[in-house]
Structure 1
Amino acid sequence: MQTEGINYIRSRTKMNLLMVLINIAVFLIITIMGGDTLDAEQMLSYGAMYPPYVTQKGEYYRLFTCMFLHFGWQHLFYNMLLLWFAGDMLEERSGPVRYLVIYLAGGVAGNVLSFLTGMERQVVSAGASGAVFAVIGALVWLVVKNRGKVEGIDNRGLCMMAVLSLAQGFMDAGVDHMAHLGGFIGGFLLAAVLRTPSAVRRKDR
């Protein structure tokens, strides 16, 4: 059983696994240090996004650092669960470098849209959802580019997941829906600009 678990971890795409582990590690470090990930003021001290701090203090780094912070276990679990599977599919077909660019740049794009549309709101925000939606957006581009014929991807399931996830963001007042939308659009466009191929075979499989 232990060997099977190790082999399963080794079979995952390396860059996506690294992103998942970094997000989990940041959460654990904050928790071990006695931080409260549900406390907005404490999350600000760790780099969460807050429009007034960006506009008034010029702390633009928050548009990046907030991607690796999460409000509680449930928030972390949901984002990492989506990333675990969607990110693996994207990296397997685009390669680690393109995947990383889409994940990071797409995540920042989501945060920028959230910032631009919410500068008047005094709300602390954090989470990898913008980056996760960038990955989903890139996968949707692959499906569109290849006219629905992408090996290993359930096209209808993927599109349905994207639509439902975006819709949930707009219906739930506690979700930063603009970060989701910005990440999705950013990932879709980045995949097109980077000319992400339909498939890149993994060497470890």
Structure 2
Amino acid sequence: MITNIYLLICAGLFIYINFINQEDKYDCAMKLGAFYPPDIHERKQYWRFVTCHFIHVDFFHFLMNGYALYQLGHFFESLLGPVEYLYLILISMFLSSLLCYSASQISDRYYYTMTIGASGVVYGFFGAIIALGLFVGGPFMSLLQQFMSVIVINLLYTLMNRQISKTGHLGGLIGGIVGIVILLAIQMV
């Protein structure tokens, strides 16, 4: 249910930006909540930490993130249940954006960079698979082994493509790992 709602919001915004909107696509993305450090730092628009994860301008970007969200999102939603799943999404979003924001405070290169897309959450799912494989083992280790090549290829692509937010992807990956570790710690108490 949560996965479908997330995908519907992403699809609705993609359609609006590309087919209904009459202005520049990137200007529209900014108005809708793209992650842009000057607006966060100077105007205190902290909601951009979340809204940016729903916005896609390019069809291929939307298609790849949508496919990954659909596949991995439904898996984690059924595995974790709605509350824990929503928590995993939110911590992945937050840490993805937090790492982007932290980088923007260190370098002007990142300060004036717009970031959009659900890939921080997708990388959060990758991080969750890593954490489950390493800390729970059993069938989750098999899952990690099956996904290891996908994770490595995505990380390499992230590192080699100049247009991809390295901090956003890494932050999402860390968010997924941290999210699962916290959930496991809570269950052990």
Structure 1 length-normalised TM: 0.80
In structure 2, C-alpha distance between the alignment counterparts of 1:141 and 1:115, rounded to whole Å:
25
Are 2:17 and 1:27 aligned? Answer: no
> Letter of the aligned partner of 1:162 in structure 2?
I
Deviations 1:33-65 (A, max 9, x none): 3256x7322221111111111111111111111
Question: Aligned pair in 2 of structure 1 residues 196, 31: CA closer, same or farther (>3 Å)?
Answer: farther
Following TM superposition, by how much is the alpha carbon of 1:193 offset from its aligned partner in structure 2, in angstroms? 0.4
Partners of 2:115 and 2:165 within 8 A in 1: yes
Following TM superposition, by how much is the alpha carbon of 1:148 offset from its aligned partner in structure 2, in angstroms? 4.4
Are 2:73 and 1:87 aligned? Answer: yes
Unmatched segments (≥5 aa) in structure 1 = 1-13, 198-205
In structure 2, C-alpha distance between the alignment counterparts of 1:28 and 1:35, rounded to whole Å:
12
> Letter of the aligned partner of 1:139 in structure 2?
I
Q: Percent identity?
A: 26
Following TM superposition, by how much is the alpha carbon of 1:118 offset from its aligned partner in structure 2, in angstroms? 2.5
In structure 2, C-alpha distance between the alignment counterparts of 1:101 and 1:110, rounded to whole Å:
14
Partners of 2:17 and 2:25 within 8 A in 1: no
Following TM superposition, by how much is the alpha carbon of 1:156 offset from its aligned partner in structure 2, in angstroms? 1.6
Q: Following superposition of structure 1 onto structure 2, how do residues 102-117 of structure 1 map, counting pairs within 5 Å? A: 102-117=88-103
Partners of 2:18 and 2:57 within 8 A in 1: no
Count of aligned residue pairs for this structure pair:
182
Following TM superposition, by how much is the alpha carbon of 1:195 offset from its aligned partner in structure 2, in angstroms? 2.2
Counterpart for residue 42 of structure 2 = 56
Counterpart for residue 169 of structure 2 = 180
In structure 1, C-alpha distance between the alignment counterparts of 2:14 and 2:38, rounded to whole Å:
24
> Letter of the aligned partner of 1:157 in structure 2?
Q
Counterpart for residue 136 of structure 2 = 146
> Letter of the aligned partner of 1:175 in structure 2?
I
Structure holding more helix per residue = 2
Partners of 1:142 and 1:196 within 8 A in 2: no
Counterpart for residue 127 of structure 1 = 117
In structure 2, C-alpha distance between the alignment counterparts of 1:35 and 1:146, rounded to whole Å:
50
Unmatched segments (≥5 aa) in structure 2 = none
In structure 1, C-alpha distance between the alignment counterparts of 2:146 and 2:57, rounded to whole Å:
28
> Letter of the aligned partner of 2:87 in structure 1?
V
Following TM superposition, by how much is the alpha carbon of 1:196 offset from its aligned partner in structure 2, in angstroms? 8.5
2:156 aligned to 164, 167, 170, which one? 167
Structure 2 length-normalised TM: 0.87
> Letter of the aligned partner of 2:167 in structure 1?
M
Question: Aligned pair in 2 of structure 1 residues 109, 35: CA closer, same or farther (>3 Å)?
Answer: farther
Counterpart for residue 16 of structure 1 = 3
Counterpart for residue 5 of structure 1 = none
Question: Aligned pair in 2 of structure 1 residues 87, 58: CA closer, same or farther (>3 Å)?
Answer: same
Following TM superposition, by how much is the alpha carbon of 1:158 offset from its aligned partner in structure 2, in angstroms? 1.2
Question: Aligned pair in 2 of structure 1 residues 106, 146: CA closer, same or farther (>3 Å)?
Answer: same
